[in-house]
Amino acid sequence: MRIFLAVFPPPESQALALACAARVREAAGAAAGHVSWVKLENLHYTLKFLGELGEDGARRAGDAALEAADSLAAFGLALGAAGAFPNARQARVLWIGCEHGAAEFVELARRVDAALAKRGFDREQRPFSPHLTIGRVRESRHDWTAALAAAPPLAGETAARFRVSEVRVMKSTLSPQGSIYETLAAARLK
């Protein structure tokens, strides 16, 4: 099973993020055809991708999520501006960042990583940067600067603000129609 730990925004926040992605897509013109756009129900913040695991690995991931969530209070988050990794000129991933709540989110990711490490998983080597992936660029010859700038600011929208109150352990199944996600476990923040 392909397993990852994630935070999913509520449906109204996902819809707002999808509308933002549509503006980026529209502004990108023909280059938008070289992007695998994330479906509405799959919009999430990845805390940690664990890869292929068996039943025991998925159980240990669930235990780690429970430990990490139990040690941190729920917190507010607001969707922010659109951006790209590694940058707009050489984009491989298009995303929406956080306007508020990033420090708390980084702390949640740190606690998840520590709890996973106790259970035999490798520590994350890269610093955590909270972002909601909206698309994966298959061909990076396009400069996305103007398309990303066309995305409306989201922080002022009511739907941009939500509480992070749960960490989910997700199973991802690849299909020709895109990834299909299934929640295996959920851990509530205190």
Active centre residues (catalytic): 44, 131
Residue 157 has φ and ψ, to the nearest 5°, of: -80, 140
Both tokens assigned to 106? 């980084």
Nearest to 47 by CA among 144, 114, 135: 114
Of 34, 11, 39, nearest to 140 by C-alpha is 34
* Distance from C-alpha of 110 to C-alpha of 115, rounded to nearest angstrom: 9
Contacts for 168 with CB less than 8 Å, ≥ 6 apart: 5, 6, 7, 8, 65, 183, 184, 185, 186, 187
Residues 6+ apart with CB under 8 A from 19: none
CA distance linking residue 71 with residue 78, whole number of Å = 22
